Amino acid sequence: MDSPQNILLASEGLRVGVDDVRRSSTLICAPIMAESVDKMVVDMGNAKALGADLVEIRLDHLKCFNCSEHLKILIKESPLPTLITYRPKWEGGQYDGDEKYRLDALRLAMELGADYIDVELQVAHAFIDSIYGKKPEKFKVIVSSHNYQETPSVEALGNLVARIQATGADIVKIATSALDITDVARIFHITVHSQVSTVPTIGLVMGERGLISRILCAKFGGYLTFGTLDSGIVSAPGQPTMKDILHLYNFRQIGTDTKVFGIIGKPVSHSKSPILHNKAFKSVGFNGVYVHLLVDDIANFLRSYSSVDFAGFSVTIPHKEAALKCCDEVDPVAKAIGAINCIIRRPTDGKLFGFNTDYVGAISAIEDGLKGSHNSGSLTVSPLAGRLFVVIGAGGAGKALAYGAKQKGARIAIANRTYDRARELADTIGGDALSLADLDNFHPEDGMILANTTSIGMQPKVDETPISKHALGSYSLVFDAVYTPKMTRLLKEAKEAGATVVSGLEMFIGQAYEQFERFTGLPAPKELFRKVMDGSL
């Protein structure tokens, strides 16, 4: 019979409505890899405090291991169910000793009350035969296979699952390596199909390109995922921290009907979009998860993840222009800009729609700065009308700002490192072109507006600036698309020169508002966005 919570979920459709509803049975396991038993006991306590469901005790990491005495302590002292692993070097672990001793230790762990043990496929048949008739009722054997080179084809993975099941495994574990994010789709295929079998399956893909396997396993039927206690201390490449799993990606709220969103980029791990959108999804009770997507080839990515489960994406460097070509329909403004930063998948037929929301927040913040008051966006003439708007950069953000300002009636000049790109954009849009070197002596009039859309001044190169301080006196407002740091050298010097300054954070928040509303159909929680970005939430 349905629980009251389940009825609530069903009646609210995509809205979860209850903050801490757990929407899947996928477990979170914290690997415990300390070098001493005492430290392992401390770490197990930390794992429980952080929210793990079970701990994996990696015996092969202990510097000194007295089998019977230490196993008793570790199993008895654990505040959480225990998975005992004694990984040999030949399967990627640290143990380099006698096989009989290793397997005896695993048998003893079973007898001493461990909840699970992990045994490698290569030795699983003999091991499981050796404990036949002796297994405690709730005890489970995980039979694992690790591939540190690649992720095989679906057919090969299917055969591997069959071989593991044939050993008598209670749980199948397959860990492969991601050469491309699309490799993960094959592992999802395996875990989804495992749900109809009586043998649960753990399917994880190692490496940064495999990250989504560790998060979306809650949606695609994986038995468990691993979350580390500290960043950098991992038992396999690409493991996220417990904190990120639970509080960045809201793992407990991911279920089979959760819609997947994400930011497509390369690099992408620095992006703040996941924290922003996931906090916002949770705050309005929207049943979605937003993940980092390290993508090498966007067309290939969109082909592999073509189901309506993958409902929308943000797009960042270097994919904004290629993304446009992958869409079935593109918003006319985005088409004119030649780049998109947002893709929505229509649920009815899976068609992809591309938008460019990059300039919206920046242009309205610049208008606000010029007026010194909030722009209602109504019938009033934009304060940008007739002004000379100088854009530094001719890439995706440069084009977006130039088109946005042009639309508001500004006159445009483009300055770019590669002059030909400045010329091309200026010719298309109707404006002047400059080289970066010309910029310092460019002051045809006072009261101009300057927008830096290059990465100059971005962390870690915070001492760099695209224009010398003395030239800033001709500008009444200076905008910088860079938002790490919030106050760039350009903005500091512009302020000292008497200009109004607008931070790239406004652009970031503005594009995120727009995307959130397209993703969810709900109004964006603007205050929450600001708090997340200024670090107060």
Residues with active-site annotation:
146, 173, 320, 358
Decide if 334 contacts 404 (C-beta within 8 A): no
Nearest distance from C-beta of residue 443 to ligand NAP, angstroms = 20
- The reply to whether 514 sits near ligand NAP by the rule CB under 6 A is no
Grouping H, G, I as helix, E, B as strand and the rest as coil, residue 250 is coil
Q: Is 515 in the site for ligand NAP (CB under 6 A)?
A: no
157-191 residues labelled b (16+ CB within 10 A) or e (exposed): beebbebbbebbbbbbbbbbbbebbbbbbbbbebb
The nearest distance, CB 340 to ligand NAP, in angstroms, is 11
From 290, 483, 513, 529, residue interacting with ligand NAP (rule: CB under 6 A): 483
Give dist(CA 468, CA 471) in Å, integer. Answer: 6
Cβ pair 495, 506 in contact under 8 A = no
Site stretch for ligand NAP (CB under 6 A), options 108-116, 161-169, 296-304, 411-419: 411-419
Stretch that binds ligand NAP, among 114-122, 154-162, 261-269, 475-483 (CB under 6 A): 475-483
Q: Mask: binding to ligand NAP, 441-460, rule CB under 6 A, as x and -?
A: ------------xxxx-x--
Distance CA 298, CA 318 (A): 10
Decide: is 435 part of the binding site for ligand NAP (CB under 6 A).
Answer: no
Amino acid at 2: D
CB of 445 to ligand NAP, least distance (A): 24
Cα end-to-end distance, the chain, whole Å: 38
Q: How many CB atoms lie within 10 A of CB 534?
A: 11
Q: Which is nearer to ligand NAP, 130 or 418 (CB)?
A: 418
User: Least distance in Å: CB of 305 to ligand NAP?
Assistant: 23
Choose the stretch contacting ligand NAP; rule: CB under 6 A; options: 70-78, 113-121, 244-252, 504-512.
504-512
Q: Measured at CB, which residue is nearest to ligand NAP?
A: 395
Residue 274 within binding range of ligand NAP, rule CB under 6 A: no
Least distance CB 464 / ligand NAP (angstroms): 8
Contact predicate 284/520, CB 8 Å = yes
Contacts with 269 (C-beta within 8 Å, 6 or more apart), sequence order: 208, 292, 294
Q: Which of 71, 123, 245, 481 forms a contact with ligand NAP (CB under 6 A)?
A: 481
Residue 305 φ/ψ, nearest 5 degrees: -110, 70
**How far does Cα 102 stand from its chain's mean position?**
38
Let me know: does 405 contact 360? Beta carbons within 8 Å.
no
Nearer Cβ to ligand NAP (165/484): 484
Interface pick for ligand NAP out of 194, 239, 304, 511 (rule CB under 6 A) = 511
Per-residue x/- marks for ligand NAP, 390-409, CB under 6 A?
Answer: ---xxxxxx-----------
Strands ordered across the beta sheet of 288-294: 288-294, 259-265, 310-315, 342-345, 352-355, 329-330
Query: Is residue 369 near ligand NAP by the rule CB under 6 A?
Result: no
Going by their DSSP bridges, the two strands 171-177 and 329-330 should be labelled as: unpaired
Show contacts with ligand NAP in window 332-361 (CB under 6 A).
358
C-beta closer to ligand NAP: residue 170 or 321 = 321
Q: Are 151 and 176 in contact (CB under 8 A)?
A: yes
Least Å distance, CB 339 to ligand NAP, is: 7
State in angstroms the smallest separation of the CB of 240 from ligand NAP. Answer: 23
Strand 310-315 to 342-345 pairing:
antiparallel
Contact status: 482 vs ligand NAP (CB under 6 A): yes
Q: Footprint of ligand NAP on this chain (CB under 6 A)?
A: 317, 320, 358, 393-398, 416-418, 421, 453-456, 458, 481-483, 504, 507-508, 511
